[in-house]
Structure 1
Amino acid sequence: MNGRARVLAAGLVVLVTAGLGGCSAGAAASAVPASPGGPGSSSSSQPSPSTATATPSPTPSAAMRHRAEFPVVTREQQNRLYAEVRLAGMTLEQKIASLFMVHVGGPDPAATRAYLEANGIAGVLLLGDNVPGGTDQTAAYTEALRSGTPGSGGSVGLGTLVAIDEEGGIVARLQADTYPSAETLKTEPVAATTDAFRQRAALLDATGMSVNFGVVADVTGDPSSFIYERALGTDARSASERVAAAVEAEQGAVFSTLKHFPGHGAAAGDSHSSVPTTDLPLDTWRSEDAPPFAAGIGAGAELVMFGHLVYSSVDAAPASLSRPWHDILRDELGFEGVAVTDDLLMLEASGVPAYADRTANAIAAIGAGNDILLYNTTVDVPQLVASIAWAVRSGQLSAETVDEAALRTLELRRELWLEQNPHAAG
C-alpha cells in the first residue's frame, strides 16, 4: 500500500469510528444533569440553606468528547472514502479494467467467473443464453458469480455487478417475467407501472441480479418509432410519471438504469444497426425529452445508459462518446451516479467508418465521461486495457478522467457488497 493509500485508510478508520459513535454523543449529553442556574434551577447562584452543596456534574469521558468532535458519517461518505482507498492501491491497468462490463455466453457460471477473475472487470451482462432455466437455476448461476475468489469481480469488499435487460415485454431475459410492460403500461394508471416494476424487481432480487438496464426513459408518440413499444410514455409528462414510478418500485431490490440518454424518441432509426441522428434544438430537448430522465434521477436511479444517438445541435459525436452530453447530464440534471454506455459493439455495427475501431471507441467513451464500457459479447480486455493505458501515458486521455470513472464504479460496487453483506455495515 502506498503512502496515499495509508493516509486514506487511516482516515477511513477515523471516519467510520466517528460515524458509529456520533449517535451516542447527543444521548450522553442529555444524560448530564442540568447545572445550577440552568433551566429548571433557581435563578440564584447560591445554594439554598435547606439543601446540601450541589454535586458537581460528571466530566464527560474522553471517548464521549472524542465522539462529539466528529459529525455522523453517512453511508455514502463511507463508501466514497472506501473507494478512494481501493483506488489509491490500484495500478493504472487495474483501474481501466474495472470500467468494463462484458457478456460471457452460455449457462455455465464457471466460464463467466473465470473471465471475471482473469480480467478484473466490474461485472457481467447476462442475456438469455445465460439464464435459459427457471428462477432457481438462475439464482444458482448468479450465486456462483458472487462466490468468486479474491482478485476477481467478487473480491472482498466489492460486489460483482450482475446486469440484465429486464424491461418486460419484448425485452425480457427471464422466463418468469410475465408482468406488464411499457406496451400496455403507457395507457394505464401510474399505479400499474408501480405494481409491475415492484414485481419485476422482486424477481430480479430473487434471481440475484444487481443492475437492471430496464427503465426506458425515451419519449415518443409515434407508433412507427423503433422505441415506441418500449417507451413508458407518449409525452414528457406521462413518461416522467411512469419512469419515476418504475425507479421507485425498484429501490432496495436492484440498481435502476435510465436509458437511452439523451433520448431515442427524437432520433429516428435503430441504434443497433445505425447511428440515429436528429437536429432537435437543445431547448426543445430540455422541454420534451429531458423531463423523464430528470424524474428518474430524482427518484433515485443509480445508473444512466448513454445511447449511440447524435443530436447535431449539441455535438456531432454520438452521445455515448460526447463530453458535452455527459456535462449536461451532470451539470443540468444533477446526476451523480454511474454513466454506462450502451453496447459499444453496436457502434462498430453501425456502418459508420468513424466508429469502426473498437479501441478508438473505448478511449473516446472514457474520455467523454462514461464510467462503465458495456459489451454484449466477450472482448479482449487485456488488449483494450493496454491500449487505453497507452492513451493515458501519451497524454491522449486524462488520468484524472480514468480515476473519476473508476471511483464512481467502485462506490457502486461497495454499496452492492454492503447490501449483500449487511452484517459488515455495522
Structure 2
Amino acid sequence: MLDSLPLSRKQISSIAGAQARINVWHGAIRSGKTIASLVAFLIAVSVAPASGLIIIVGRSLQTIERNVLDPLQDEALFGPVAKLVVHTRGATTATILGRTIHLIGAADSRAEGRLRGMTCCLAYVDEATLMPRGFWNQLLGRLSVKGARLLATTNPDNPGHWLKKEFLDRAGELDLRQWHFTLDDNPALDPAYVASLKAEYVGLWYRRFIAGHWVQSEGAIYEQFDPEQHVVKTLPRIERWLCDAIDYGTVNPYADLLFGIGRDPGTGRSRLYVASEFRWDSRMERRSLTDAEYSKARRAWLARVPQPESNVVGVAPEWTIVDPSASSYIEQLHRDGVSGVTAADNTVLDGIRTVSSLLATGDLAVHESARGLIDELPGYSWDDAAAERGEDKPIKDNDHSCDALRYGIRTTEALWRPYLPTRLEVAA
C-alpha cells in the first residue's frame, strides 16, 4: 500500500508514530494530513484488538462518506486495499479489512447518546474541531480496551477552541501526539494548483487553511470586498437564474436576493451575480407585513425584474431558498404555488468561507441596485466577545442581506460550481 502512495517524510513519520492514545493531524487544507491519517487508520484496523468496536466519527454520515470512505475506496490511492473497504451509501456500518466499522454522525450534543454503552478499541474522527465537546469526552471514555487509540484530523480553528487549549497545548501532559502540516508537506500537489489555492483564500481563511495557523477571528468578515471590483452597474445576459434567497424578518428587515450565472463581459468567464434585491424594513416603513403579504410582494418584485440584454421582464428562479427558521413563511410559499422552495443551508462558517473565496477570486459580483447588501458588507464583522470564548461568530446586527447572500450561495453550490471548474476547491 505505501509503495503506491507518494508520501512525504512527515506523512511517513506520522503514520509510524501514531501509537499514542490520542493522535491528531492538523494544519493546512490539501496538505496530506488526511491521507497520512487514513493510512495510519488502515494499519490500526489491521492490528486492532478483537474485542471492542471500531468507529468512524464525522459531522454527518455524508461527510464520513465523502471525506473518509470515498478516499479509502479509491484504487488510485490505496491500490488493492481499496477493494477491502466495503460500504453501501447511506448505511451506518462499513466493512474495512474484514472488520465491521460503525459510522457515527456528531452534528450536535445529542450525538453523545449514540456512544452510550459502547466499548471501543479504535476511533477515527474527521474534522475534530467540529465535534461537540461533550461528545469528544464521551468518546475518549468509551476507548477503554487496552491499547485503544483515537486518530483525528482537523483544520485549524480559533486558538481558544477547546481542542487546542485542553488537548493540543497539553500534549506533554497527555498521552497525545500531534503533527502540523503545511501545503509543502504534500508532494502530490501541482505547483500551479498550490498557487491557485493561495489566491482563493484570504484573511482569516488564508491564515488558517493555507498557513495552517490557529488564529483568532477579528475585524471585518469580508475584508476583501471592494465596491470598485465587486459592484457592477450593468449585468450581462443571465444564462441561468439559480435562486432567490430570503432572510426572513418581521421586526427585523426582510431581505431577498436574486442570483444568476452570466459571463463577465471583460473576461468572458462565468461569474455569479446578485442581480437584484427586495428588502422590507418594517421600522423604516412603519408597517409590518404578514407572510401572505411578503409572498405577494416577492412575486411582484420578481415580475418586474428586467432580464439583461433582453426585452423580457420578469424572472422565475429555479429555487426559492428560505431562512430555515421561517417555517410559517415556507408553508405560505407552498400554499401560493411557489415551486422549488427549500430551507437554506445555514452552516455559518462554511457559508462565510465560500462567499469569501468567491469575492477573493472575483467570481461574485453585485448589481448596484442591491443597496441593502452593498451597505451591509463592509460592516459585517466578527464578534470579539465570542472569539475570546474560542468561538467564531458574526455580530448579529445589520446582517440580514449578508445572511441571504450566504444562504443563496451555500445552498446552490452544486448548481454554480460546475461553471467555475478550475477554482474554489472544497477544503479538506
TM-score (norm 1): 0.28
Q: Tell which structure's C-alpha radius of gyration is larger.
A: 1
Q: Greater helix share, 1 or 2?
A: 1
Q: Greater strand share, 1 or 2?
A: 2
